[in-house]
Chains A and B, each alone.
Chain A
Amino acid sequence: MVAHSGSTRARRSAGRLNEPRAALVEAAFDGKPRSVNRFLVLTIREEWRVVDRWWTEEPLDRRYFDVVLESGQAVVVFHDEERQGWFAQRA
């Protein structure tokens, strides 16, 4: 049988790259991250806020931090004000 190669393991819809993943973040009193996934934050390179799609059923309200961890890794973390949780993704 010569079949369409690998027709059984499909996930063919376009997907997002760099999807945020839930992260364990310890925040300071001012809401800035002190550690991410148990790694200390060495420096916060940038901070910004996104409030968008407030007219839809999935509004965005996030406070972002571009941080460098003690492991040397550069990560973007954000606090999702809608979902009340911390998430991380590649910088």
Chain B
Amino acid sequence: MIACILIDGFELRAALLERPRLMLRPAALAPSTGEEPLLGPVTAIAEASGVRSGMRMGEALATCPELVLVDRDPARAEQEWEGLLRRLEDAGLSVEPAERGTVYFETRGVERLYGGVEKALLRALKAVGPEWDPRAGAAARRFAALAAASVARPGQALLVGEASQARELLAPLPLELLPLQPRERAELRELGVRRLGELAALPAGAVAERLSADGREAWQLARGGSGAKVQARRLGEEIVEALAFPEAVANELTLRRAFTALLDRVLERPERGGRFIRKLALSAQLVGGGSWRRTATLREPSAEPAKIKAALAPKLVELPAPVLELRLELVSLAEEVGEQLELLQAAGAEVDRRLRQGLRQVRASTGSGSVGQVVEVAPWSRIPEARALVVPRDD
């Protein structure tokens, strides 16, 4: 079975770890700087006062004047999320994180270890920790598992056995569970479709014609979704260097020097083993409690300080507030420890090796599943979409 662990408003909870009392007040995650002024997740009290996630800030403050806006803390959220995933992995679960607050795993490998699916889910909930109010669901399909987790109570695990049970579970659930654009959701609502069961009952062609590919995918999910397997992430090691300032620093020159010092230190770390760097993250603890984080994927893996500096240092000007601590993290490393410049034009296996290297770089930048290979399966077919498949290349 596929299991899903769901934590509502993960980013808000992470930002409130230092101020847990705010969880008992109407509070919401403030919009990101430079983005549309829409609220992030909100506390249960705020929701009871009529404030919703995604609401315009002005409207929310008019609805609930005592609403507290909480600054985003992306570095803390990333740190907590990674810690949570590692706790699950320590419990023997091979996890596939979907987005912060949602993680999937396959129960088959641990059912015998823990004595059944339900016990494995309860073990996973324990590993996450009660302070996050996690909910668990398990079903034959991924979307049904997500739906089960979304209706479970905090700390509860809900199992959905057969396909008919999954359909019964999905039918009364709202359309918000589906990955649809707000415009498409509104269009369905105007047509009187408010529940997954109502969408599932429509003919596929009609939905596809009205809402194109997204609609068809949503329709499929409303009927239980596809049987896509869980792809567990590979474990990594942590290479981070941090520098805490005695007092908040806003001067760009000082920050650049601090960044250079961090870079020198992180490049000297023995865990790197001379490997080139693919992707780095620079984060900062800001004065006033918030945090800031930027990542950079290098055009090609490198361990040259000048190249890395050119990619990441300009981002320091985007810092919105003085910094208390600067942190540099190696997010992804290449296997290579050196690069031979070419005397003769590369050919054959060498070109192939470089192509693979380039593809790995693209994956580091855009995520797993972003590189695919077109495989002709029936080029003679009179059904055009049956002629070829795109097979993901994660090697």
Residues of A with Cβ closer than 8 Å to B? Answer: 1-22, 48, 50, 52, 60, 62, 64, 76, 80, 82-87, 89-91
A89 & B385 in contact (Cβ 8 Å cutoff): yes
User: Apart from A22-B208, A76-B384, what 18 extra A-B contacts exist at CB < 8 Å?
Assistant: A3-B331, A4-B233, A4-B236, A5-B367, A7-B367, A8-B99, A9-B368, A9-B369, A11-B228, A13-B228, A13-B392, A16-B389, A16-B390, A17-B387, A20-B384, A20-B385, A21-B208, A89-B385
Q: Which of A1, A13, A16, A64 contacts B82 (CB 8 A)?
A: A1
Q: Which residues of B contact A89 (CB under 8 A)?
A: 384-385
Asked if A2 contacts B331 (CB within 8 A), the reply is yes
Which listed residue, B332, B368, B382, touches A48 by the CB 8 Å rule? Answer: B382
Say yes or no: A7-B390 contact (C-beta < 8 A), given A82-B205, A85-B206. no
Write the residues of chain B forming the contact surface with A, with a CB cutoff of 8 angstroms: 82, 96-99, 203-206, 208-210, 212-213, 226, 228-229, 231, 233-240, 278-279, 329-333, 360, 363-370, 372, 374, 382-392, 394
Most buried by B among A1, A52, A76: A1
Chain B residues with Cβ below 8 Å from A82 are: 205
Query: Once the chains are docked, how many angstroms separate the CA of A60 from the CA of B204?
Result: 13
B251 to chain A, nearest CB (A): 29
B367 touches A9 (CB 8 A): yes
| Interchain CB contact under 8 A, A10 and B279 | no
A18 close to B387 (CB less than 8 A): yes
Are B384 and A4 in contact (CB-based, < 8 A)? no
| CA gap between A90 and B374 in the complex, in Å | 15
Given A10-B367, A19-B213, also A5-B382 (CB < 8 A) = no
**Which residues on the B side are within 8 Å of A19 (C-beta)?**
213, 385
Query: B295: shortest Cβ distance to chain A, in Å?
Result: 10
A11 and B369: CB pair below 8 A? yes
With A5-B279, A22-B212 known as contacts, the answer to whether A14 contacts B391 (CB < 8 A) is yes
Q: Contact between B390 and A5 (Cβ–Cβ < 8 Å)? A: no
Residue in B closest to A23 when the chains form the complex, CB atoms: B209
Chain A residues contacting B278 (CB-CB under 8 Å) are 5
A residues in contact with B391, CB < 8 Å: 14
* B98 engages A8 (CB within 8 Å): yes
Residues of chain B lying within 8 A (CB to CB) of residue A9: 366-370
For the complex, give the distance between the alpha carbons of A66 and B96 in Å: 42
Taking CB atoms, residues of chain A closer than 8 Å to B212 are 21-22
Q: Which 6 A-B pairs have the closest CB atoms?
A: A83-B205, A6-B367, A7-B233, A9-B367, A4-B234, A3-B236
Is the CB–CB distance between A2 and B385 below 8 Å? no
Min CB distance B85 to A, Å, is 9
Complex contact A10–B368 (CB within 8 A): yes
Contacts of B369 in A (CB 8 A): 6, 9-12
Question: Which residues of chain A have C-beta atoms less than 8 A from B370's C-beta?
Answer: 6, 9
Q: Could you say which of A4, A6, A50, A84 contacts B205, with CB atoms under 8 Å apart?
A: A84
Query: In the complex, A61 Cα to B70 Cα: how many Å?
Result: 56
Q: CA–CA, A20 to B370, complex, Å?
A: 21
Query: CA separation between A50 and B387, bound complex, in Å?
Result: 14
> Which residue from B210, B364, B365, B384 sits with its C-beta under 8 Å from A90?
B384
Q: How far is the CB of B310 from chain A (nearest CB, A)?
A: 21
CB distance from A61 to the nearest CB of B (A): 12
Contacts of A20 in B (CB 8 A): 384-385
Residues of A within 8 A of B234 (CB): 3-4, 7
Q: Give me 23 A-to-B residue pairs in the complex whose CB atoms sit less than 8 angstroms apart, sorted by A's number.
A: A3-B331, A4-B233, A4-B234, A4-B368, A6-B367, A6-B370, A9-B367, A9-B368, A10-B368, A11-B369, A15-B390, A16-B386, A17-B374, A17-B385, A17-B387, A22-B210, A48-B382, A60-B383, A83-B204, A83-B208, A85-B205, A85-B206, A87-B208
Q: How far is the CA of A79 from the CA of B391 in the complex (A)?
A: 28
Question: Do B205 and A2 touch across chains, with their CB atoms under 8 A apart?
Answer: no
Q: Which residues of A contact B374 (CB under 8 A)?
A: 17
Report the bound CA distance from A3 to B367 in whole Å: 12
With A8-B367, A21-B212, A85-B206 as given contacts, are A2 and B389 in contact (CB-CB < 8 Å)? no
Contact check, B237 vs A8: say whether CB atoms are below 8 A apart: no
Least distance between A9 CB and chain B CB atoms (Å): 4
- Output the least CB separation between B318 and chain A (Å): 22
